Structure 1
Amino acid sequence: MRLTLRLLSSVVQRRPFYVTTPIFYVNAAPHLGHLYSAVVADTIQRFEKLVDPDCEVIFSTGTDEHGTKIQQAAANAVLSPAEYCSKISAEYRDLFKDYDVEYTDYIRTTEDRHKRAVRHFWNKLLEKDYIYKSQYSGWYSVNDEAFVPEAHVRDEVRNGQTVKVSAESGHKVEWTEETNYMFRLSAFKSHLQEWLKNDGVITPNKFQKQLQDLLENETYFPDISISRPSSRVHWAIRVPGDEDQSIYVWLDALINYLTVIGYPDNDAMLKKGRPWPADVQVVGKDILKFHGIYWPAFLMAINWHPPRRLVCHSHWTVDGSKMSKSLGNVVCPRATPVSPSALRYMLLREATMHDDANYSESKAVNIANSELADTLGNLASRCCGAALNPRGEFPPLHTHELAALEQDVSAQLMDHVERLHEVCYGHYRNYQFYKVADAVIRTLHLANVFFECHKPWELRKKLDGQKELDVVLHITMETLRICGIVLQPIIPDLSNKLLNKLQIPLDCRSWQHCEKPSWRIEGAIYETKNILSGKFVLFQRIYVDKKQKKKASA
């Protein structure tokens, strides 16, 4: 009886899956890189729910709203810091809504619940003697909101003058001397090295290796300043008991991941299922040091575990150049010529995590037209259209006619469809979303070859061709069904539209439902069923040239 109760308790107290984006700094409007971080995290959480529909997910995102850069940006916008933060934070919310980023919690660092969490965390560090006050001097980057070690500063000529810049970010630094509170980061070097020995805590592995190499450098690892004079940084959370000091914006920001789960309220955390350590935290490579060195050290200092995994992605360049305000090439997602579904697809289709990806408008349009409109959309329209499918059915599969099909193209397509779930499962688990898209598109290319080879428009005219036509349409639509399920985490809107057209019930769209195609289910009775009636265009082809559009419609 006791064992039964214990097992029941473990089921009831099952941990939710906790995934986070970084919180986004509101010194400017959101751009393509911010959106990419968000859709990566969203794809991860959607896949978890696809594999396990009973899985509870906590997916947090939000905005980081304190610091010197916010003060400056608000002043430039002729707004109070609070008004400015609310304005930019709302832009992120709207963007994520447009791009189907289904977060469960949106956190702002100006919220009272967060300020309470930060002060409590500070006091915990203080109790454990990991905070001390000291005179600090060093190179400081306003853009990075961080002190930069001497070894990471270089000279650079700009506008005919030699200036000091951060070797990591390229941002200008200035010499600063002030009294700050310090965190004993040096006490955690060996602990961090031990943590980083675990395979997969940082993925891709090249970023884990970067952190390991960083820790080998003795000169890099001093204690760090975790406060600023409030006279200089007034838009920030004050240090508990010391109004003359403001808490360092990065310490403040990192605590958001705990605020979301109810920290420091034990009852609130219990209601959330105690989802710590976080399962996956998505970060860009520019903030890896803060999440892969500072963050785990802060957590270790209060005896909490570091996150289970950091998924670190590279950056987006534009036409081969780094996005920069000075170059005027920062991409606003809403200003692109493609729809949200198409841009979301392109971002996940093109980026590899390991290396920087390149954005261009022509590439976005070409991928959308080639893969979403032609390869996927056109195939769906043809097999669902009245010309070939006047009965509007997902037709039955006839065993005799299936065996009689032209074997080379049929066997190749069916083999790809049968293996697609296994291939894509591995790619999803390794966060290689571009490989998922590639595997699906390859399968759909084969489906188009299969369709053309069997000429269903001719079968439609044959007096005895209905059963063979049924089989061709069935295999094509079954391929579309499985591809639609697989693509749900990447392009949820288009996938749902496709599955709705095929009248696939909502409770038949989980990962298990793509593991076996219909022709591999022993003893199944394939009953004819209707698909959704009406003209069907899954994805409207994009025309950026009016002459091109006019020519296509002629």
Structure 2
Amino acid sequence: MADPFYITTAISYPNGRPHIGHAYEAIATDAIARFQRMRGRDVFFLTGTDEHGLKMAQAARERGTSPAEFAEQMSSYFREMNESLNISFDRFIRTTEPAHHRASQAIWQAMADKGDLYLGRYEGWYSVRDEAYYDEKELVEGDNGERLSPQGTAVEWTVEESWFFRLSAYQERLLAYYRDHPDFIRPESRRNEVMRFVEGGLSDLSISRTSFDWGVKVPGSDKHVMYVWLDALTNYITGIGYPDDTEEWRKFWPADLHVIGKDVVRFHAVYWPAFLMSAGLALPRQVFGHGWLLSRGEKMSKSVGNVVDPNDLVRAFGVDSLRYFLLREITFGQDGSYSGEAIVTKVNADLANTFGNLAQRTLSFIAKNCDGILPVGGKGDPADEALITLISEVTRRDVPAHFEGLQLSQGIESWLKAVFACNQYIDSQAPWTLRKSDPERMKAVLATLYVAIRDLAIVIAPVVPESSARLLDAMGVPEGERDFAALEDPDSYDRLAASAFRLVPPTPIFPRLELPVED
């Protein structure tokens, strides 16, 4: 039975269209999910939209429509983004689904049964944009002396009846859990931030609102709707069957990994585990807070006018080029920057000029000079053995170790090192010269290169899945032999060489990019 692996993105708040930050999180999470599938694990990948809350109600009102109609329209844009980015999700959840309302009310009731909820009166600072409550000590001063949240968003003084969660009762339990599970929050910088926040003292948390009604109704208290973050976080268990004792629930919970932005770490690493502790449910194994994606070094905002629709980037550069750039260029967990020029430069250098050119000239040479028949060379010489040893170390050890550790850019860097080694090998061995001087040696060189290119195409598939599949199709590699288990099969090349497969001159897998011409 395959080892289960449950991974999620933070569900997106669809009060506006998707931007490149949403795309980055989806792409990174997808690469991890694809990698785990290639390892042979039974992966469940959840993403979706978080559709309740005051912000959604206000945005719908501004557009002259109902919150339900607005949510339906905006959620569709996020699903389309995922599909255009080739995101291999297993479920796209919407928090307006009846099943999610039932799950949210079930976890509320479990927390109430524990005695952790009480009715009171909330007076304090609230940020509509963040959908978050802030203590006075957390506020910062704006340029005009106004109070702002730690994220720099506007806050307003709110007074209303509210249900509260006894978050303060979980301070020591959370700290003990962080100490006993040092990898629960990653990277280390996020863990340190959370530890400092919790060590500073936790206040009870307001978890319902009465000033609007767009949300999940509180059980037995219908004039209240749940605080949007309690509702939103519950999606991770709704998505696999909670509160029912389903096969998926038993198999996949607790989640192996929540991939989230660093701005929502507090909700996932403080509130969420406290809610789960209260409800008597297991905690996720890891919360990873990635950095922000900056446009030419600047944070994206509508006011600056640098918010980019990821679909525009896909149309301009192609989905795999965008995926490769974001995962190669940005150290996962840190902030990173992008621009059209940077995408073109990096993709042309790494994919078109280096790996793409290697595959193109090798496969074209086999098609032309071996009649498309995969060559079977004699006993390899030390140069062949050295390259195959390096490829084996990179594809079976280095790249998997980096990807397993969520070091995505480092994994790609290791892969690229092996690609460079292949290019040095083909230049030094010069099969175009061997064609006349030593045809048998030429065959050995080409067979070595074919195996190396196949292995490199397989291991980079989580990053550039469409391009990898096209290349492996052109190479005749069966679909069932494109995972890490296949890399360990010593007879796969001989089987293919003995088959009826014939290589034909391939079309370029990674054509060179050019900057779009501005209108």
TM-score between the two structures when normalised by the length of structure 1:
0.88
Of 437, 443, 449 in structure 2, the residue corresponding to residue 476 of structure 1 is: 449
- 1:102 is paired with a residue whose SS is coil
Q: CA deviation at 1:342?
A: 0.7
The residue aligned with 1:533 is 504
1:171 paired with 2:150, answer: no
Q: In structure 2, do the counterparts of structure 1 residues 435 and 447 end up closer, same or farther at CA, with 3 Å as the change threshold?
A: same
Q: CA deviation at 1:80?
A: 2.1
Of 187, 198, 213 in structure 2, the residue corresponding to residue 204 of structure 1 is: 187
Matches within 5 A, 1:29-428: 29-52=17-40, 55-157=41-143, 161-167=144-150, 169-197=151-179, 198-218=181-201, 221-229=202-210, 232-266=211-245, 269-270=246-247, 272-336=249-313, 337-385=316-364, 388-399=368-379, 402-403=380-381, 407=383, 413-420=387-394, 421-428=396-403
Of 467, 471, 493 in structure 2, the residue corresponding to residue 498 of structure 1 is: 471
Of 423, 437, 454 in structure 2, the residue corresponding to residue 448 of structure 1 is: 423
CA contact (8 A) 2:242 2:249 kept: no
Q: CA deviation at 1:202?
A: 1.5
CA contact (8 A) 1:394 1:502 kept: no
Q: CA deviation at 1:270?
A: 2.9
Structure 1 residues 271-310: Cα deviation after superposition (integer angstroms, max 9, x where no partner): 5544211111111111100000000000000111110111
Moved more, 436-445 or 232-241: 232-241
Q: Distance in 1 between matches of 2:517 and 2:491?
A: 44
The residue aligned with 1:552 is none
The residue aligned with 1:6 is none
Q: Distance in 1 between matches of 2:306 and 2:386?
A: 44
- 2:254 is paired with a residue whose SS is coil
Q: CA deviation at 1:183?
A: 0.3
Q: Distance in 2 between matches of 1:338 and 1:279?
A: 33
Q: CA deviation at 1:354?
A: 3.1
Structure 1 residues 31-51: Cα deviation after superposition (integer angstroms, max 9, x where no partner): 111112112221222111111
1:542 paired with 2:513, answer: yes
Q: Distance in 2 between matches of 1:540 and 1:76?
A: 45
Q: CA deviation at 1:15?
A: 6.3
CA contact (8 A) 1:67 1:236 kept: yes
CA contact (8 A) 1:396 1:528 kept: no
- 2:129 is paired with a residue whose SS is coil
- 1:283 is paired with a residue whose SS is strand
- 1:196 is paired with a residue whose SS is helix
How many equivalent residue pairs? 512
CA contact (8 A) 2:373 2:497 kept: no
The residue aligned with 1:21 is 9
CA contact (8 A) 1:395 1:528 kept: no
Moved more, 530-539 or 177-186: 530-539
Q: CA deviation at 1:411?
A: 6.0
Q: CA deviation at 1:388?
A: 4.8
Question: 1:19 corresponds to which letter in structure 2?
Answer: I
Q: CA deviation at 1:390?
A: 4.8
Q: In structure 2, do the counterparts of structure 1 residues 546 and 279 end up closer, same or farther at CA, with 3 Å as the change threshold?
A: closer
Q: CA deviation at 1:439?
A: 1.0
- 2:145 is paired with a residue whose SS is strand
The residue aligned with 1:3 is none
Q: Percent identity?
A: 35
- 2:242 is paired with a residue whose SS is coil
- 2:133 is paired with a residue whose SS is strand
Q: CA deviation at 1:370?
A: 1.3
Q: CA deviation at 1:189?
A: 0.8
Q: Distance in 1 between matches of 2:351 and 2:74?
A: 32
Q: Distance in 2 between matches of 1:174 and 1:196?
A: 33
Q: Distance in 1 between matches of 2:203 and 2:174?
A: 14
Question: 1:187 corresponds to which letter in structure 2?
Answer: A
CA contact (8 A) 2:332 2:409 kept: no
Q: CA deviation at 1:509?
A: 1.5
- 1:358 is paired with a residue whose SS is strand
Q: Distance in 1 between matches of 2:351 and 2:78?
A: 26
Q: Distance in 2 between matches of 1:163 and 1:327?
A: 21
Q: In structure 2, do the counterparts of structure 1 residues 423 and 274 end up closer, same or farther at CA, with 3 Å as the change threshold?
A: closer
Question: 2:31 corresponds to which letter in structure 1?
Answer: T
- 1:329 is paired with a residue whose SS is coil
- 2:288 is paired with a residue whose SS is strand
CA contact (8 A) 1:371 1:441 kept: yes
Structure 1 residues 116-144: Cα deviation after superposition (integer angstroms, max 9, x where no partner): 11112111211221111111111111100
Structure 1 residues 493-549: Cα deviation after superposition (integer angstroms, max 9, x where no partner): 111111111111122212122247789x9xx789455344344211221122679xx
Q: In structure 2, do the counterparts of structure 1 residues 515 and 311 end up closer, same or farther at CA, with 3 Å as the change threshold?
A: farther
- 2:424 is paired with a residue whose SS is helix
Q: Distance in 2 between matches of 1:393 and 1:196?
A: 58
Q: Distance in 2 between matches of 1:251 and 1:40?
A: 25
Report the RMSD for the aligned CA atoms in angstroms. 2.2
Structure 1 residues 203-251: Cα deviation after superposition (integer angstroms, max 9, x where no partner): 2222122211221112xx100000111xx32211221222221110000
Q: Distance in 1 between matches of 2:509 and 2:248?
A: 41
CA contact (8 A) 2:174 2:270 kept: yes
Q: CA deviation at 1:331?
A: 2.0
Q: Distance in 2 between matches of 1:518 and 1:383?
A: 21
CA contact (8 A) 1:24 1:34 kept: yes
Question: 1:302 corresponds to which letter in structure 2?
Answer: A
Structure 1 residues 356-382: Cα deviation after superposition (integer angstroms, max 9, x where no partner): 011111111111111111111111111
Q: Distance in 2 between matches of 1:332 and 1:440?
A: 30
Q: CA deviation at 1:453?
A: 1.9
Question: 2:100 corresponds to which letter in structure 1?
Answer: H
TM-score between the two structures when normalised by the length of structure 2:
0.94
Q: Distance in 2 between matches of 1:109 and 1:505?
A: 40
Q: In structure 2, do the counterparts of structure 1 residues 216 and 451 end up closer, same or farther at CA, with 3 Å as the change threshold?
A: same
